[in-house]
Amino acid sequence: MRPDLRRFRIKSLVMLVFSGLALVLWLPIYVYINHGYVKQLVNDRGEAMHDLASAVAAVLGDNLHERKRELSLLAQSPYFRNAPLGARELRQHLERIQKSYPHYVWLGVVDTEGIVRSSTGDLLRGVSVRHRPWFDRGKEQTVAGDLHEAMLLAPLLGIEKDSEGAHLIDFAAPLLDEQGRLRGVLGAHADWGWATDVVKVLYPAGIARSQVEVLIVNRENRVIHPHRYNSPLQIPVTFPLDQNFAVARGQDGKDYLNSSAEVRDDEPGRSLGWRVIVQQPCERALADVAALQRAMVASILLTTLVFVGLVWWGSGRITRPLRLLASQARKIEQGEVSVPPVTEALTVEVHDLAEALRGMAGTLLDQRRDLADNNLRLERLVAERTRALEIANEELSQIARQDPLTGLPNRRAADERLRSEFVRMKRSLMGYAVLMVDIDNFKRINDRHGHAEGDRVLSGVANLLAVSLRESDFVARFGGEEFLVVLPDTDLSTATCVAEKLREAAEVAEDPHVGRVTMSIGLAMASPAHVDEREVLRLADACLYAAKASGRNSVVSDSLSAGHVGNS
């Protein structure tokens, strides 16, 4: 429903309009922050997390490759090609290597049967490792194994069970003699702690405050870094085909922004299946947006309040002259002619309005006098025009109910008279007669003498019927050469006499041009038992057709008391 603006003051409308404009100006910015900026921020954070995951995965893969390359180069040194596998010098060489590469917690030489012949600290010396995966694969090429617990070495090395040092990565390389024959396998166990050092190198500044967490998971989706070895991943990580990040809900009910990158392995046909996952709570990722939203809402409210206050004060100053002019206009409306000038007009428009108001007051009395005179003349003119309109309406009503050829009432007037007589009969129980009169062989008259003569015959018959009836009777041209006669308060006998009188009058009044003109008449009596006025009309019409069928120039009634008189 459209509001009625006339109920508001200009001051209030101006304030509402400018307040709405202020909100409209701020609304796109706020909507952008709530939707566009949030989407862009999530996209930027997701891409940054993917870059971090990719970098960690790449560095981790490079380190694995470096460890394998180190071991491959060590396996090619003369010590391992020529010295006996159990020689004291070989053990000393292994210990020197361990000091150079502190991440190796154990180095050992295994013969082709899987027995450890030399090792750092003589740990596991003489122990069979033939069933360890790194031994079988290490006889063919330099390999790296998956992360596993240090079941045998942990007690010997004094490593706590739940520490990262209690988990090792196996490396192995084949030992070949000068002829390229396999002598054994050089095995190494690297401390998993080096993965922590690799990841920390790539940690961005402030990662702890932003609650960004870097995880390494194996192919079974179990966390192997940080200190959660073999614990299941708490947040499912699946990504759309066209995105490097996704939002997932963790088991704690919170939403996390996740990204993932696979750790590549250079060994053909085999992959460790490790992935680097970087995740951050969405609440923390969008903390800047929430702070910006609060600042934006505060700025919008403060700016709007200041703006509305200024508009309220300014609109009050602008509308004060208008209020004075409205007060003067009300005085003029009450009849006061003298209007003091408005001296507070701040604009040209208000000044012009004040001048126009004074000019209007000066001409108001003259207009009132002229209006009074005009009202008198208008009242007389309205009365004259009203009377003329009533006369014209009466003439139109008469024309609408009069046959233009015969001057008799037409079919419309006949229907109204029949309805009126029927209603009167229902009330007074006094019947009336209806005569349907038709000129015999009228078509023959038109064909032999022309339509002009036929019209003259119609007019003559109409005049004959009109002068032959009582003043209270009713006669109308019903259509073509048919006429309708209504005889109020008339019984059957009287109505039959009137019908015969009309028939005889037409028969004896011979036309000088056409000759003898006769009429057939059907007579019916209206009864209170009839349903409506049309029923007696149908009976009279049926009697008329009977009169025509009996030879014309006759009267036929709907009662046996009516006789047949005359011949055509």
Q: Is the pLDDT of residue 354 over 60?
A: yes
Long-range contacts (CB closer than 8 Å, 24 or more residues apart) made by 536-542: 536/418, 536/422, 536/434, 537/418, 537/434, 537/436, 537/484, 539/434, 540/434, 540/435, 540/436, 541/436
Rounded distance between C-alpha atoms, residue 213 and residue 485, angstroms: 113
- Report which secondary-structure segment, H or E, holds 188: strand 182-191
Rounded distance between C-alpha atoms, residue 347 and residue 325, angstroms: 13
> What residue type is 33 in one-letter code?
I
Per residue in 168-199, pLDDT tens? 888 899 988 888 888 888 888 887 777 777 77
pLDDT band at 561 (very low <50, low <70, confident <90, very high): very low
Strand partners, 111: 184
> What residue type is 113 in one-letter code?
E
The pLDDT value recorded for residue 236 is 61
Percentage of the chain modeled with pLDDT above 70: 73
Mean pLDDT lowest among 62-66, 74-78, 233-237, 431-435: 233-237
The pLDDT value recorded for residue 475 is 94
pLDDT band at 13 (very low <50, low <70, confident <90, very high): low
- Report which secondary-structure segment, H or E, holds 426: helix 411-428
Per residue in 124-161, pLDDT tens? 888 888 888 888 888 888 888 777 776 666 666 666 65
Q: Is the pLDDT of residue 76 over 60?
A: yes
SS3 label, residue 147: strand
pLDDT band at 563 (very low <50, low <70, confident <90, very high): very low
Instruction: Calculate the alpha carbon distances from 310 to 22, 313, 344 in Å.
Output: 13, 5, 20
> Cα dihedral sign for 123, 129, 132, 136?
positive
Q: Is the pLDDT of residue 4 over 60?
A: no
Per residue in 498-526, pLDDT tens? 999 999 998 888 777 888 889 999 999 99
| pTM score above 0.75 | no
Instruction: Calculate the alpha carbon distances from 413 to 356, 397, 432, 528 in Å.
Output: 62, 10, 17, 22
pLDDT band at 568 (very low <50, low <70, confident <90, very high): very low
The pLDDT value recorded for residue 567 is 33
Q: Is the pLDDT of residue 93 over 90?
A: no
Contacts of 423 (CB under 8 A, 6+ apart): none
Q: Residue 567, exposed/middle/buried by CB under 10 A (0-12, 13-18, 19+)?
A: exposed
SS3 label, residue 429: coil
> Do 190 and 105 touch, CB atoms closer than 8 A?
yes
Compute CA 432 distance to the chain's CA centroid, rounded to the nearest angstrom.
71
Mean pLDDT lowest among 178-182, 279-283, 310-314, 421-425: 310-314
> Do 521 and 437 touch, CB atoms closer than 8 A?
yes
What's the CA angle centered on 566, arms 561 and 567, to 5 degrees?
A: 130
pLDDT band at 123 (very low <50, low <70, confident <90, very high): confident
The pLDDT value recorded for residue 549 is 92
Q: Is the pLDDT of residue 346 over 90?
A: no
Q: Which residue has the higher pLDDT, 264 or 556?
A: 556
Most confident of 25-29, 159-163, 182-186, 433-437: 433-437
Q: Is the pLDDT of residue 486 over 90?
A: yes
Nearest to 422 by CA among 527, 510, 331: 527
Instruction: Calculate the alpha carbon distances from 144 to 67, 176, 215, 363 in Å.
Output: 8, 19, 20, 111
Q: Which residue's entry shows tokens 């013969």?
A: 111
Q: Is the pLDDT of residue 1 over 60?
A: no
Nearest to 520 by CA among 497, 544, 536: 544
Nearest to 319 by CA among 341, 339, 349: 349
The arithmetic mean of pLDDT across residues 242-250, rounded, is: 71
Most confident of 45-59, 159-173, 535-549: 535-549
The pLDDT value recorded for residue 494 is 93
Q: In 6-125, which residue ranges form alpha helices assigned H by DSSP?
A: 10-31, 38-75, 78-82, 88-100
Nearest to 262 by CA among 53, 72, 528: 53
pLDDT band at 230 (very low <50, low <70, confident <90, very high): low
The pLDDT value recorded for residue 401 is 80
Per residue in 193-229, pLDDT tens? 777 777 777 766 666 677 788 878 877 777 777 755 5
Q: Is the pLDDT of residue 164 over 60?
A: no
The pLDDT value recorded for residue 35 is 64
Q: Is the pLDDT of residue 120 over 60?
A: yes
Here the tokens at position 410 are 């037409």
DSSP state of 164: G
Q: According to the 3-state scheme, what is the secondary structure of 231-286?
A: EECCCCCCCCCCCCEEEEECCCCCEEEEEEEECCCCCCCCCCCCEEEEEEEHHHHC
SS3 label, residue 487: strand
> Cα dihedral sign for 382, 386, 387, 392?
positive
> Do 150 and 175 touch, CB atoms closer than 8 A?
no
> In residues, how long is the chain?
568
Rounded distance between C-alpha atoms, residue 391 and residue 382, angstroms: 14
What's the CA angle centered on 270, arms 266 and 277, to 5 degrees?
A: 75
Q: Is the pLDDT of residue 165 over 60?
A: no
The arithmetic mean of pLDDT across residues 420-426, rounded, is: 93
Average pLDDT, the chain: 78
> Do 54 and 257 touch, CB atoms closer than 8 A?
no
The arithmetic mean of pLDDT across residues 550-561, rounded, is: 79
